Amino acid sequence: MGQTLFDKVWQQHVVKQNDDGSVLLYIDRHLVHEVTSPQAFEGLRLTGRKPWKASAAVATPDHNVPTTDRAMGITDAVSRAQVEALDANCAEFGITEFGMNDVRQGVVHVMGPEQGLILPGMTVVCGDSHTSTHGAFGSIAMGIGTSEVEHVLATQCLIQKKPKVMRISVNGALPAGITGKDVALFIIGKIGTAGGTGFALEFAGEAIRSLSMEGRMSLCNMAIEAGARCGMVAVDDVTLAYVKGRPYSPKAEDWEKAEAMWRELYSDADAEFDAELAYETSEIVPQVSWGTSPEMVLPVTASVPDLATAKDEVQREGWQRALQYMGLEANTPIVDITIDKVFIGSCTNGRIEDFRAAATIVKGKKVAANVKLALAVPGSGLVKQQAEAEGLDVIFREAGFEWREPGCSMCLAMNADRLEPGERCASTSNRNFEGRQGMGGRTHLVSPAMAAAAGIAGHFVDIRDWS
């Protein structure tokens, strides 16, 4: 019987099979940021342990960094202490760090692939749930907690139980206006935020193959929002073209050898999956989340749901609470929802392609009068540099957007970028939980083009009708 993509990569990383069915799994790449690592480094110090392989870890501060002028440093003393702790820990333990003023600094999940630190067939971990992003490269990429960050630093391994594998095929060509983000939200709307629990997801089918690496990263990034351990896409020419020539990717003879190995990273035709789902692209319309969980999502053509249509009491109560929190009335058309702020950025949609898509929409237009703030926050210093070389910063500024320094920013509002209570935001980020973008803030998850269009119109619009 053939093997799945997941099985191939998993098998290559088993150090030891334990009697209880778990394995000791080797980890190739460990991305580190300031929020989930200080207690892990402290653990190493307290036990007198050293990193097993310091070169496997690469760090950058992203959650806490200001997106405004950095010449003044970080004004929030608590945030500053955390970023300084990362600097000190990396220096002490010999870990490469792209610090706050390095052009390579950025959201850890944008920085990693951009540097060629993420390669096909790797096992990748980070103390951050959106590590699933890197499955776009045919790698097994998982978010872990701080105790496991310490475990990986000390042993280069994790104790893992093999998850089940689910293939989700999206068949048909992707229609104009539908992005990896829409596909992700569409799938989460179908299977729910616990639909992938206990599974590794493989995304397959014509629509997935046609996505750029940026689109695949947006999709895999959101696999965690479906509850999955990780999301993956098989390696193809698109993957290899992206990886080739990046600072940390293999060169010359190593490249030849690597490419031959990586070309095997797909699910065999006769591989068996624990579960299979299939969708047609003709079903997918630009998506907008309306509630406080990523599964509370609808086509832009729909209306906010009526409680009477909930499938059970638990869902009805969840919807009721969400409607109240979001300040929405049942049956309101999505396109009638007006917004106060726009956020374009994050590990989901903070890559160059995302800014190009948004810039196309806002070019020559102005942000609507009811929109108080429109933020464009590049995912990394290099994304920012590239966008500026293409003149995108000028387009955003002329449209009334603020063009910022790279970081996680208003995706989770750990820095100064946040929603005030009651404010409503069209956001390209990944979570619409209560308080996620600021206490009392109301988040609607959308693609970059949809966020940009909402900023110009002042309310949600169907991007397929944009002119």
Q: Scanning residues 293 to 312, which ones bind other proteins (CB under 8 A)?
A: 293
Render 69-102 in DSSP notation, one character per residue: -GGG---SHHHHHHHHHHHHHHHHHT-EE--TTS
Instruction: Pick the closer one to other proteins by CB: 43 or 99.
Output: 43
**Residue of 159, 277, 310, 330 that binds other proteins (CB under 8 A):** 159
Quick one: which of 222, 205, 218, 206 has its CA closest to 179? 218
Which of 39, 171, 212, 332 lies at the binding interface for other proteins (CB under 8 A)?
39
CA–CA distance, 446 with 461 (Å, rounded to integer): 11
Say how far apart CA 241 and CA 432 lie, in whole Å.
Answer: 34
436: contact with other proteins by CB under 8 A: yes
Q: Does 442 bind other proteins (CB under 8 A)?
A: no
Q: Does 144 bind other proteins (CB under 8 A)?
A: yes
Q: Could you give phi then psi for residue 415, rounded to 5 degrees?
A: -100, -155
* Contact criterion met (CB below 8 Å) for 294 and 186: no
- 414 is a contact residue toward other proteins (CB under 8 A): yes
d(CA 61, CA 412): 14
To other proteins, the closest distance from the beta carbon of 73 in angstroms equals 15
45 lies in the binding site for other proteins (CB under 8 A): no
Integer Cα distance of 407 and 429 in angstroms: 12
Residue 143 within binding range of other proteins, rule CB under 8 A: yes
One of 35, 204, 304, 425 touching other proteins (CB under 8 A): 35
The residue (of 327 and 333) whose beta carbon lies closer to other proteins is 327
Q: Does 278 bind other proteins (CB under 8 A)?
A: no
Residue 428 structure tokens = 């390209």
Of 49-68, binders to other proteins (CB under 8 A) are 49, 52-53, 63-64
Task: Kindly identify the residues of this chain, within the stretch 75-134, that bind other proteins according to CB under 8 A.
Answer: 76, 78-79, 81-82, 85, 119, 122, 127-129, 131
Cα(110)–Cα(96) distance, rounded to whole angstroms? 16
The stretch near other proteins (CB under 8 A) out of 152-160, 281-289, 342-350, 446-454 is 152-160
Determine which residue in the list 10, 26, 93, 343 makes contact with other proteins, applying CB under 8 A.
26
Instruction: Tell me: does residue 139 bind other proteins (CB under 8 A).
Output: no
- Residue 261 binds other proteins, judged by CB under 8 A: yes
Give the interface segment with other proteins, choosing from 24-32, 98-106, 269-277, 278-286 (CB under 8 A). Answer: 24-32
Question: Measured between alpha carbons, how far is 343 from 440 in angstroms, rounded to an integer?
Answer: 16
Strand partners, 261: none
- Separation of alpha carbons 397 and 366, rounded Å: 9
CA atoms of 426 and 460, how far apart (whole Å)? 8
In whole angstroms, how large is the CA radius of gyration of the chain? 21
On whether the CB atoms of residues 286 and 299 are closer than 8 A, the answer is yes
**Sequential DSSP letters for 169-213:** EEESPPPTT--HHHHHHHHHHHH-TTTTTTEEEEEESHHHHTS-H
> In whole angstroms, how close is the CB of 80 to other proteins at the nearest point?
9
Site membership for other proteins, residue 10 (CB under 8 A): no
CA dihedral 187, 189, 194, 195 (to 10 degrees): -40
Q: How far is the CB of 142 from other proteins (least distance, A)?
A: 8
Task: Please state the closest distance from residue 462 (CB atom) to other proteins, in A.
Answer: 28
Question: Contact between 413 and other proteins (CB under 8 A)?
Answer: yes
Query: Is residue 28 within the footprint of other proteins (CB under 8 A)?
Result: yes
Binding mask 361-380 for other proteins (x = CB under 8 A): --------------------
- Interface residue with other proteins, options 11, 68, 75, 147 (CB under 8 A): 147
Best CA proximity match to 298, nearest among 340, 271, 326: 326
Q: How far apart are CA 115 and CA 132, in angstroms?
A: 17
**Residue selected from 384, 404, 431, 444 as contacting other proteins according to rule CB under 8 A:** 431
Number of residues that bind other proteins (CB under 8 A): 73
Binding flags for other proteins, 186-225, as an x/- string (CB under 8 A): -------xx--xx---------------------------
Which residues from 313-372 bind other proteins, rule CB under 8 A? 314-315, 317-318, 321
Residue 419 carries which DSSP code?
P
Q: Which two tokens stand for residue 355?
A: 């800014």
